[in-house]
Structure 1
Amino acid sequence: MLRIVPPKEIQGEVIAPPSKSYTHRGYFLSLLADEKSIVERPLISDDTLATIDAIRAFGADLIEEVVYPPEELRPNYIFARDSGTTARISIIVSSLAKGVSVIDGREQLRRRPMEDGVSSLRMIGVEAIGKRLPVKVFGRGRISAKEVSIVAEKSSQFATGFLILAAKIGLKVEIVKPVSKPYIEMTLKTMEEFGVKYDKAQENERLVIFVDPGVKGTKFKVPGDYSSAANFLVAGALYGKIRVRNLMRDDVQADKEILNILREYGAKVKVKDEYVEVESNERNPLNVDCSNFPDLFPLLAVLAAYAEGKSVIRGRQLRIKESDRIHAMAVNLSRAGIRVRELSDGLEIWGGQPKGFRGKTFNDHRITMALAILALGAKGESIIPETKSIAKSYPNFFEDLMRVIK
């Protein structure tokens, strides 16, 4: 249990942790590379440990930051913990392992949909069973198909899985109704780091990517994480001034969009090569569709709770993340005395002065961190009953938070 009393001042500097999304991609591409790779400064969290376990199960050796890929992937039991990225990429990559692989996870992950990836595997001649975890894949070792189509309106993670598969075998990947497009761009950017060549074209609601085979061993330095840094950038916009280092100015991460949103909110945003700095100023209401950056939704709801007016925050897949994030934030904002109305795909939020509250995290790391940021300016003491969920993506979050509380 964590008790938070609003501090007198919020100001300081933190270093953004390594990106979870890039860490996943770097490890899976290292698994399929032609020789050893170095994944430099990876994020170590529950989710990325699940990916490390997965690539080892497929036959890779990992010694500190060096990944030695196997000559051939071996079928195995993959336990993805609560990591949707680990599970979905593993489902696709296991098609290269000759034999039966089973991909499973914890109860929370077992509730998330897997049928789109399973259906697309069948299109390339790989038998797979399961609409949710556990999923059984009957790998063929070699795949002769030349193209695949994946519906990505619920998640871009299977699209990433097929792009990584394509990097190994060569494949035309058609992504239908892609949601979270920046995550696909992040996958392509990481593939480039591993020497993968591709061409892409946009055709109406389809993104078509022609990927040449060949993953080269490389030294891949994991960039800083805009998703985790967003917690501190939002805190700066609301309460004081915070500087975050280790963020790439030209990154394609989806959650880099937080910078544009904070400018719209009225905050002072300074972007330099060495750091990003955000200072509080105005608190304008927001109207945002976060379908391309759903992980920002809890923090955008926090911004809206303090805004001067009514905000609308929407997103297509918000109810099928680690929790039903729309309902989760509606519950917590209501407990903080903020008027809120649940929509099918988002929230209407009437901003004001949140009061101290007893939060409910729904065992969702993003909700937990957002509640901590919400509590920093609430009128009175707030209680967050569980904080273990942050281990999924940002184990040192509360230690870093203490650096900016005066």
Structure 2
Amino acid sequence: FPGNHCNRSVNGDVVAVQLLPESQWTCPEKKIRLRDVEEYVKTADDMGNEADENENDEEPKAKRSKKNTVPTAKVVGIIKRNWRQYCGMLLPSSVKGARRHLFCPAERLIPRIRIETEQADILSQQRIVVAIDHWPRDSFYPLGHYVRSIGEMGSRETENEVLLLEHDIPHAPFSDQVIDCLPRDEWEPDLNDNRGTLPRVDLRHLTICSVDPLGCTDIDDALHCKQIGDDLFEVGVHIADVTHFVRPGTAIDDEAALRGTTVYLCDRRIDMLPCLLSSNLCSLRGEEERYAFSCIWTMTSSADIQSVKYHKSLIKSKAALTYERAQEIIDDPKEQNDVAQGLRGLMKLSKVLNSKRTANGALTLASSEEFMLLANIQVAQKILEEYPDCALLRRHPVPMKESYKPLV
């Protein structure tokens, strides 16, 4: 619904709406203004006329078209407020010594908030946190109060903190309860320590290696390839077996579910699991024994799959390579060891797999990613076969034409 029909509701509120007559339906906006940047440059004056503010704040209306209009409504009631604390910056005022100021949230869907402070000169150079107190019926802006300062505007640490807070990313240190779930420091893998119904398979004899970007410490997948016949190859993808350490219903399982994923920022990362697991025991490092879950195919040189098997395994990666080092080994004719032979076999088969996918309009991937994608497909098919009534499969819808325009 248009901005003037929001009726003092804030993004995230649970509201009741009334559908407008079809003659008042509008088109979705095609462009989104960088509101906080524009307003900061304009030097907003919170003491000015609110009617003028209303006029300036309203976004350009989309041209109405019977073909492109969508059902449009207005808010007639707020059922539940979902206000939270907001990160952003204080807009400078043209009135010297003013106590009332406008705060501009980093999230552009949140309206500006009026606060009172005598520290405007200091806070105007910082990213701050503000909370909404109430929104009077006769006020164009909600009223709130200053909570705390995050740090100097523009500094890497401050902007990282804003990103984490605004996207509600848990980033506090792991609790003692989570740390207590970790194995002892002297932990070593043991084939007899099997928590599943089927035995873990010993694959330490295979020439397995990983290929990752430079500096990668959480190596979660590795591969192997060996020729087993005139036109037959055994190819395997091995994924770190995190489930051995993260058991259902434990504190570490609950924390991992809350975090959902590891978040990568420009100079740091927020781990989903403690470092002992993410960068050590669940990282398939070179020359170290690790638990894995393996998907192993028998295929021809034309990448026609003859058979596939899945099982938990114990592996020992022979090398943790960067993309650059792996390419050097492949290109160097003097390299003839098992790692080099395996990499060349993987490269040849990946080109065949890629040609098959691109013929169907798929995107081009790195050679190692071809096998990760193949493993995803095979595992999804296996899950669907075994659990047809409750299989959860990922499906990407066809991209809309509008999505291509920024790329063209």
With structure 2 as the length reference, what TM-score do the two structures score? 0.21
With structure 1 as the length reference, what TM-score do the two structures score? 0.21
Larger Rg: 2
Relative contact order (C-alpha < 8 Å, sep 6+): which is higher?
1
